[in-house]
Amino acid sequence: MSKLGMPKIDRKLISKKNEIVANLKKFVKSENVLDHEDQTRPFETDALSAYKQKPLVVIFPETTEEVSKILSYCNKEKIKVVPRGAGTGLSGGALPLADCVLLCLGKFNKILNIDYKNKCVVAQPGVTNLSITQAVQDNGYYYAPDPSSQIACSIGGNVAENSGGVHSLKYGTTTNNLLGVEVVFMDGTISRLGGKTYDSEGYDLLGLITGSEGLLCVVTEVTVKILKKPQSVKAALIGFPTIEDGGQCVSDIIASGIIPSGMEMMDKALIHATDNFVKAGYPRDAESMLIVELDGTESEVDELIDKVTKIAKQNNSSSIKISKNEKQRINFWAGRKAAFPACGDMAPDYYCMDGTIPRRKLAEVLKEILRLSKKYNLPVANAFHAGDGNLHPLIMYDANEKNSLEKTEKFGAEILKYCVKVGGVLTGEHGVGVEKRELMCEMFNNNDIQQQIKIKKALDVSSLLNPGKVYPILRKCAEEGRVHVHKGKTKFSDIPRF
């Protein structure tokens, strides 16, 4: 696996598999080490699912001390380690290597402390996102970041990818709700960054770790802040006759000074798919749809709903429906939360992209996506975290058709390049992983990337932790004066596919 930044397979290491397995069993219970092909096969991919690779061995530590011993041993023996949470990632960030130890944190699944006085929860990384809210909701609290996969994704994975969700516009992504972590570095060193307070002295190492995609350390404990549920929450379901009208409404709402707790946009294809899936009562005749949620005191929410309604009408809204109760509000969101599985009726496979653009560019980017859809002859459905410009185009394809995946990848790459062109970035919350690593040069020059790699090597001298992710092999292109990754090679030709 040497192309496009994937490290070469260490054949000598593979030949020592039995010895490695025997040594790993010294650190954990023997049943927590899986090395038979049938046992490792379920871990050969993540939710990206386009690529697969069985690891050398899978290990399930149960304590921070066990993680420390495993990493210390692997560091000494120069064995690659790939951390894995729930496996719900969408960029191939937890994709194993054939000669790696896959370090699974599924047994770190306990909430350790609920501190209402300091409004925070201390949890192990394997605890699911939704479980944190469920643990505190009876006392009137909740955890704000809510990815669509919140029922399954782990809080440790959220830290690794800096995950967001539909309420990120007002309450921020993981980094804005994270107070502290316990981590283990590649040499086995255990360290605590942050805690239950809102600020700490020194460098913002907590910020550095958040979104580092498992390249810098293994997270073994997470402290997040929880919020008091607002007095009132209402959602508006708004249909528009054009994409441009919906995009302009988003800009006008923000420009008016209103910050909704959530503001999501969907195009017609996704409106139909999700409404068929959950019967949410979406405006099926609309070309675009907004879900705008407001929270606060009852009087505040009522006033803001009136303002949003007026702005929507000024932007030619074709329908407006306001939630009358909590059940209806939840139903409005049910379709958006089920957007990805709803696409199962549209095609055998879909490829979920993740980029972020300036809000004012929403309509322009959607037009370009539709143009590319015609160019590649592949249907696409679009979901947006409209308030913060994070878009998720879902490209429909059939993996059984020859070259279909390759064509889909090229389509997706063009979308992300266009995001960068209009002033956006390659990823909003899914991470770079292997999916976007060759596109890093669209945003960063050689010096930029080398500085990032230096930070990694300061914490992982031999680059053993999750290698082959995020950073490509860089080659200087003298005639262009910039770096590039490949010359006509098929994307990810080094990774086996389904």
Of the three residues 228, 253, 281, the one that is the final residue of a domain is: 228
For the cut 70, the answer to whether the pLDDT of residue 108 exceeds it is yes
What b-and-e string marks burial along 478-494, b requiring 16 or more CB atoms within 10 Å of the CB? eeeeebebeeeeebbeb
Task: Answer yes or no: do 454 and 369 share one domain.
Answer: no
Asked if residue 368 is part of any domain, the answer here is yes
CA 224 to CA 156: how far, in whole Å? 11
Q: Express each pLDDT in 387-441 by its tens digit.
A: 889 999 999 999 899 999 999 999 999 999 999 999 999 999 999 999 999 999 9
Query: Mean pLDDT over all residues of the chain?
Result: 91
Residue identified by tokens 């073994």 is 220
What three-state secondary structure class fits 479?
A: coil
Asked if residue 323 is part of any domain, the answer here is yes
Task: Answer yes or no: do 155 and 298 share one domain.
Answer: no
Task: Answer yes or no: do 5 and 80 share one domain.
Answer: yes
Of the three residues 390, 410, 435, the one that is the final residue of a domain is: 435
Task: Answer yes or no: do 379 and 234 share one domain.
Answer: yes
Asked if residue 29 is part of any domain, the answer here is yes
CA 385 to CA 389: how far, in whole Å? 6
Task: Answer yes or no: do 189 and 262 share one domain.
Answer: no
Asked if residue 127 is part of any domain, the answer here is yes
CATH code of the domain containing 153: 3.30.465.10
- 175 Cα distance to chain centroid: 13
Task: Answer yes or no: do 306 and 352 share one domain.
Answer: yes
Number of domains making up the chain: 3
Query: Which sign does the torsion angle of CA 48, 54, 55, 59 carry?
Result: positive
Task: Answer yes or no: do 163 and 283 share one domain.
Answer: no
Task: Answer yes or no: do 163 and 236 share one domain.
Answer: no
Confidence of residue 6 (pLDDT cuts 50, 70, 90): low
Residue 115 one-letter amino acid? D
Task: Answer yes or no: do 240 and 376 share one domain.
Answer: yes
pLDDT of residue 495: 54
Asked if residue 351 is part of any domain, the answer here is yes
The two tokens of residue 474 are 């860089």
For the cut 60, the answer to whether the pLDDT of residue 12 exceeds it is yes
Which among 360, 357, 397 is positioned nearest to 380, based on CA atoms? 397
pLDDT of residue 478: 32
CATH code of the domain containing 347: 3.40.462.10
Asked if residue 195 is part of any domain, the answer here is yes
The percent of residues above 70 in pLDDT, for the chain, comes to 94
Structural element, H or E, at residue 14: helix 11-15
Task: Answer yes or no: do 376 and 353 share one domain.
Answer: yes
CATH code of the domain containing 65: 3.30.43.10
Predicted structure pTM score: 0.91
Asked if residue 440 is part of any domain, the answer here is no
Q: Which domain holds residue 134?
A: 111-228
Task: Answer yes or no: do 101 and 142 share one domain.
Answer: no
Task: Answer yes or no: do 254 and 368 share one domain.
Answer: yes
Asked if residue 441 is part of any domain, the answer here is no
Of the three residues 205, 228, 251, the one that is the final residue of a domain is: 228
pLDDT of residue 483: 37
